[in-house]
């Protein structure tokens, strides 16, 4: 073995040891839950049924799962989500997998909790299209099987209500976590869990500055109190040619919520867990491939041009973040025998 190869081997081993000794975090096996909405089997069962039920939409054709497909990567692999009557919005559906580790929800962070997030799409005219939550509750009450499900999930009042429905959906979503990735195994000490390419990518990911934003167990920033939110401006380095092609600054992000110019193009930092499964990328779904997303993030966010090898290594590392998906089955929805809902 020549000197160059020996030095390369030493550098690789040193890099691997640095990664193991660094501030890398494994994903917990259980998601955090609020004191006023503890997770129970009955609540999760109800939440899963509500999540899968298209009758929560005005047309009876769109469920939460339509855009956040738990048989896939927790979203729909569309550039932008499609709601009732084929309507489309301007943003890509975020993954529901590991959403429990976000301190705020939606791309613009407008929902402080999973409970608040669950309430929004149901009455959004483009998404699920119900007139209001009173109409949703009325519909649920007209489906006989829901009464018993709510009573079992909420033993103190058993009411079919907006509050209980969103709590149940949130409880189900807190079970949608994916620990056990190759990365998780590696940082817990299994040095064979990741390939050499993935380890190089892990260290390059930190070296070029990706961890400035994508840190923590879910790679979505530091752990913060629920409702606080971790936001970053995107893109930092604007490029006219790139803007013409991808229109990344057209949507103002957080500023659409706050109305503040200082919040223009500020976005909640999304999780990178299972990112290999959630193409297309970015808030508007304009970027079709993970390698292009990596190149654009390096250039537009960090002001750096990656070599083909550096980009390939980082993509390999991001593939190591795909975790173990808990098995999902479709529930039997409560019916309305002899009549339409």
CB 64 within 8 A of CB 83: no
- What kind and span of H or E run contains 133? helix 133-141
CB 57 within 8 A of CB 122: yes
Task: Determine whether 127 is an active site residue.
Answer: yes
Q: Which two tokens stand for residue 341?
A: 């809902």
In the numeric block, the tokens 């469920």 are attached to 63
* Measured distance CA(221)–CA(204) in Å, rounded: 18
| Residues contacting 202, CB < 8 A, separation 6+ | 19, 24, 183, 194, 317, 320
| Residues contacting 28, CB < 8 A, separation 6+ | 177, 179, 217
Q: Which two tokens stand for residue 208?
A: 């070029």
- What kind and span of H or E run contains 266? strand 266-268
CB 221 within 8 A of CB 228: no
* Measured distance CA(67)–CA(82) in Å, rounded: 7
CB 248 within 8 A of CB 234: yes
Closest CA to 166 of 131, 123, 222, 228: 123
CB 111 within 8 A of CB 117: yes
Candidates 75, 127, 173, 310; catalytic one: 127
Q: Which two tokens stand for residue 40?
A: 């129970």
* Measured distance CA(108)–CA(137) in Å, rounded: 27
Q: Which two tokens stand for residue 327?
A: 């098995």
Q: How many CB atoms lie within 10 A of CB 242?
A: 16
What residues does 232 pair with on adjacent strands? 267
CB 272 within 8 A of CB 323: no
**Catalytic positions:** 127
């Amino acid at each position: 073995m020549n000197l160059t190869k020996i030095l390369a081997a030493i550098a690789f081993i040193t890099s691997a040891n640095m990664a193991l000794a660094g501030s890398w975090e494994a994903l917990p096996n259980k998601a955090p839950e609020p004191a006023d909405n503890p997770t129970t089997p009955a609540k999760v069962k109800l939440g899963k049924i509500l999540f899968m039920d298209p009758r929560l939409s005005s047309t009876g054709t769109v469920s939460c799962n339509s855009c956040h497909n738990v048989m896939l990567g927790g979203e729909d692999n569309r550039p932008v989500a499609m709601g009732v009557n084929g309507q489309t919005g301007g943003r890509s559906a975020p993954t529901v997998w590991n959403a429990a580790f976000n301190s705020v929800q939606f791309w613009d962070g407008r929902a402080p909790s999973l409970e608040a997030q669950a309430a929004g799409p149901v009455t959004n005219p483009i998404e699920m299209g119900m007139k209001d939550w009173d109409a949703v509750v009325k519909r649920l009450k007209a489906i006989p099987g829901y009464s018993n499900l709510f009573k079992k999930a909420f033993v103190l009042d058993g009411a079919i209500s907006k509050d209980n429905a969103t709590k149940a959906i949130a409880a189900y979503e807190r079970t949608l976590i994916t620990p056990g990735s190759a990365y998780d195994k590696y940082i817990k000490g299994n040095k064979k869990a990741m390939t050499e390419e993935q380890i190089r990518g892990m260290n390059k990911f930190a070296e070029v500055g990706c961890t400035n934003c994508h840190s923590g167990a879910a790679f979505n920033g530091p752990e913060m109190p629920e409702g606080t939110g971790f936001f970053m401006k995107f893109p930092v380095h604007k490029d006219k040619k790139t803007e013409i092609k991808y229109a990344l600054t057209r949507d103002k992000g957080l500023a659409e919520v706050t109305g503040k110019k200082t919040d223009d193009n500020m976005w909640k930092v999304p999780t990178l867990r299972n990112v290999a499964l959630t193409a297309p990328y970015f808030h508007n779904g304009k970027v079709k491939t993970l390698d292009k997303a990596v190149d654009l993030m390096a250039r537009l966010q960090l002001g750096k041009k990656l070599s083909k090898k550096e980009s390939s290594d980082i993509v390999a590392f991001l593939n190591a973040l795909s975790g173990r998906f808990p098995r999902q089955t479709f529930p039997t929805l409560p019916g309305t025998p002899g009549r339409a809902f």
